[in-house]
């Protein structure tokens, strides 16, 4: 199984934060998980809320768990709220079905991890995530 390295994950986090500063985002928290859902890298900018690490990880963990980008998860959550309420219970509250959770795919389109960002509007979080993943030569799947 292909793997996302710590070095790649760290670079993705730094690039996402750089993009956030370049577009004047609110303070961000960025989490990168490997394909098994394990945290590889996390940074929380000064002023980012105390729940942001959990939200960022839930965005990333949710897209990994469902195999779909956050944008698709958000659409499905609107269409099937009872199902997503159950998913929240099943996962112990570890799923946040909103934009800002992005699958990370390699050149073969295999999922090697996920990124979750929290701090600004979900759509802006997603912009930073996609930029960072693509900047390291991987494919961003936002849904």
Residue 31 lies inside a defined structural domain of this protein: yes
Residue 106 lies inside a defined structural domain of this protein: yes
Residue 66 lies inside a defined structural domain of this protein: yes
pLDDT at res. 92: 85
Q: What is the pLDDT of residues 122-133, one digit of tens each?
A: 999 999 999 999
Q: Which domain holds residue 93?
A: 6-141
CATH number for the domain spanning 34: value is 3.30.450.150
Residue 135 lies inside a defined structural domain of this protein: yes
pLDDT at res. 5: 94
**Which class for 33: exposed (0-12), middle (13-18), buried (19 or more C-beta within 10 A)?**
buried
Q: What is the pLDDT of residues 106-120, one digit of tens each?
A: 999 999 999 999 999
Residue 1 lies inside a defined structural domain of this protein: no
pLDDT at res. 117: 98
Give the model's confidence band at 1: pLDDT under 50 very low, under 70 low, under 90 confident, else very high: low
pLDDT over 70 at 59, yes or no: yes
Residue 60 lies inside a defined structural domain of this protein: yes
In 23-80, where does DSSP find H-type helix? Answer: 52-66, 70-79
Range name among 17-21, 35-39, 78-82, 90-94 with the lowest pLDDT average: 90-94
Total structural domains in the chain? 1
Residue 65 lies inside a defined structural domain of this protein: yes
Residue 36 lies inside a defined structural domain of this protein: yes
């Amino acid at each position: 199984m292909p793997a996302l390295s710590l070095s790649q994950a760290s670079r993705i986090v730094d690039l996402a934060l750089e993009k956030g500063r370049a577009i004047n985002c609110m303070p961000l928290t960025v989490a990168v998980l490997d394909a098994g859902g394990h945290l590889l890298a996390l940074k929380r900018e000064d002023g980012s809320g105390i729940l942001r690490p959990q939200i960022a990880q839930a965005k990333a963990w949710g897209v990994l768990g469902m195999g779909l980008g956050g944008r698709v998860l958000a659409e499905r959550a609107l269409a099937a709220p009872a199902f997503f309420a159950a998913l929240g219970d099943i996962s112990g509250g570890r799923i946040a079905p909103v934009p800002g959770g992005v699958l990370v795919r390699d050149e073969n389109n295999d999922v090697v991890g996920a990124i979750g960002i929290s701090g600004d509007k979900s759509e802006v979080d997603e912009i930073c995530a996609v930029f960072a993943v693509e900047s390291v030569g991987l494919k961003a799947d936002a849904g």
